Structure 1
């Protein structure tokens, strides 16, 4: 890999991935809302920012997302479900990455190996859900997994050397996750970035459409 595009480059994971990729010798273009005004939930914004790039990028990583939006915390029971909070989750965690895929695919080389990766979460797995709760966040992440899988099928027809995947980075130490980590092991953003970059280097077209964790273990849908 030589050239990378990181969307959400100012976030905890995104900024750490940028630093790790640069350490590995890649030329990195980073875009974010706080530094560049890129709003992934607004297609005009996505089209403007990605339309101004030329590429090609052999790695496109969408690291956007949030566990809490406007103070709405993950639901412990369906009685806590709020329609606006659910739509906010869907807009940022599913529609946003979908728009990135839509407008970034033209920046990926057709005849060379490339990776498009979207940050997902294990809680988006329907098959792995054994405790319930977290309705809005789970639903949004399940949706982005489906979007990635579906896009991978379409992209594979024209981009035969592309791997388009959803990735779970593990529980990363951030101010938001601190309240929800419980007894789950956590890693620093730097360690998560190192593991994600290792994955980027191992992905091949045979993995396209898949959902993998930081250890390159496939996660059930």
Structure 2
């Protein structure tokens, strides 16, 4: 993270997951990182679908932090995977997708963005997915997951507009990690190569690090390319 000052402080939310743990390991290996806080539901009881849980996790931390990376999300929730057709839509399953992938993002922003550095460059990244692009949708299907990730993108974009007024050096981004070899993609990546989590993590951090403040709120892939909304 060359653009952040030596000794920068970082938080990884969802640090027990496939990509989240790789993000945390990459930051831990960065000699410029002065402090790394790892938070997850498995290890800390942090549930991003529960506002009290998110609020209490944030309250325990004293800022400022220069990097917050939220690596939470889910494709299959409570055993229910993505729909292939309209007839498979379940209101309950759709609400769970939004709770985890969209509302969780909003709650993290609400409670953790006040911990960001107001005076110096700071970064906040969120795992999105290319299938959340409305303009890039050519195949259909996966309605609940697509819609929840599209909502995540809008949440990040809107938050970036607001934060620019109080945190002019802060950059927010929705990030597509690629098809990564994690439990999330297992069973859905037939015929597609999957990159190692460590490779995706390094790429995502590099992309986030390279963004200027004028690009805050954008949607970017692991290779640095902008993804249409």
- Of 103, 116, 138, the match for 2:111: 103
Contact 1:89 1:137 in 2 (8 A): yes
The CA distance in 2 between the partners of 1:197 and 1:153, in whole Å, is: 22
Aligned pair 1:16/2:55, yes or no?
no
The CA distance in 2 between the partners of 1:35 and 1:207, in whole Å, is: 34
- Local SS of the residue matching 2:186: helix
User: Which runs of structure 2 are paired with 1:187-206 in the superposition (5 Å)?
Assistant: 187-206=195-214
- Of 159, 169, 174, the match for 1:166: 174
Q: Kindly tell me the number of residue pairs found equivalent between the two proteins.
A: 221
TM-score by length of 1: 0.98
* Structure 1 unmatched runs, 5+: none
- Of 72, 75, 91, the match for 1:64: 72
**Partner residue of 2:13?**
7
Contact 2:173 2:208 in 1 (8 A): no
The one-character-per-residue Cα deviations of 1:190-219 (angstroms, maximum 9, x if unpaired) are 111111121232122121010000011000
The one-character-per-residue Cα deviations of 1:24-45 (angstroms, maximum 9, x if unpaired) are 1212101000000011111111
Contact 1:124 1:142 in 2 (8 A): yes
TM-score by length of 2: 0.94
- Local SS of the residue matching 2:37: strand
* Structure 2 unmatched runs, 5+: none
The one-character-per-residue Cα deviations of 1:112-142 (angstroms, maximum 9, x if unpaired) are 1011111100000000000000011001000
Contact 1:9 1:31 in 2 (8 A): yes
The CA distance in 1 between the partners of 2:139 and 2:105, in whole Å, is: 26
Contact 2:177 2:222 in 1 (8 A): yes
Q: CA RMSD in A?
A: 0.9
